[in-house]
Amino acid sequence: MPHILLTGFEPFNNETTNPAWEVVKLFEGKKILQTHTVHIAQLPCEFGAANTMLADLLTRIPAEIVVCVGQAGGRVDISVERVAINIDDARIPDNAGAQPIDQSIIEDGPAAYFSTLPIKAIVKNLRDNGIPASVSQTAGTYVCNHVFYGLMHYANTHPHILRAGFVHIPYLPEQAAAHPGAASMALEQMENALRCLLETSISQAKDIKLGAGATH
């Protein structure tokens, strides 16, 4: 019986909720495509501690697929991240008050890792299901990218993890109601999106060719 690990974050930056956790917790114990069992976890929004907890989870749960989910307040769609970079550069303090600037996440680690999710197939399937989605060329330089990089660094030396990656999701409507000008997405649609993403990650042996680049 194959396993999936799905993580979300605790709220940060003065929010009282985090859409990543709200949607991830709906998948506790769920089966995807009747074959894969989902395990969930909430990570702290803290540099260092988040990756320590993630490494501990990865040690205990023999997951074939690992997807970390984070809030991207202001983005309009499900954005599937392409690449994690080896740098912390915090615009705001994390939940423990740390604000690293230009520090490597893994000293002497490679500059970046690419997601091993079938990111193009995911975007295509999401859109085909009426869910706004895109490939993102940057996961930022905050705790989300930190965890994404930590995940890919671990997966790089643990081949039982077949696919791993990160996805950013918009504000929930009730958050956007307090941030005039910000886009949002309904929780139910986020849930459908995540299920579609996991199903595609299971069934798509090889990613498809689909243009989703940026000129700059």
**Catalytic site residue 168?**
yes
| Minimum distance, C-beta of residue 164 to its own copies, in the bound complex (Å) | 14
> Between residues 27 and 47, which has the closer beta carbon with respect to its own copies?
47
**Catalytic site residue 144?**
yes
106 binds its own copies (CB under 8 A): no
Please tell me which residue in 81, 146, 153, 196 is annotated as part of the active site.
Answer: 81
> Between residues 39 and 82, which has the closer beta carbon with respect to its own copies?
82
| Minimum distance, C-beta of residue 180 to its own copies, in the bound complex (Å) | 5
Q: Tokens 């399937």 appear where? A: 125
Q: Whose CA is closest to 58, among 173, 172, 151, 156?
A: 151
**Catalytic site residue 10?**
no
68 binds its own copies (CB under 8 A): no
How far apart (Å, rounded) are the C-alpha atoms in residues 196 and 125? 7
Q: Whose CA is closest to 71, among 10, 122, 28?
A: 10
| Minimum distance, C-beta of residue 126 to its own copies, in the bound complex (Å) | 7
Q: Tokens 């243009």 appear where? A: 211
Please tell me which residue in 144, 146, 153, 196 is annotated as part of the active site.
Answer: 144
How far apart (Å, rounded) are the C-alpha atoms in residues 119 and 139? 14
52 binds its own copies (CB under 8 A): no
| Minimum distance, C-beta of residue 3 to its own copies, in the bound complex (Å) | 26
Strands 3-9 and 36-43: parallel
Rg (alpha carbons) of the chain, rounded to whole number: 16
Among all residues, which ones are annotated catalytic?
A: 81, 144, 168
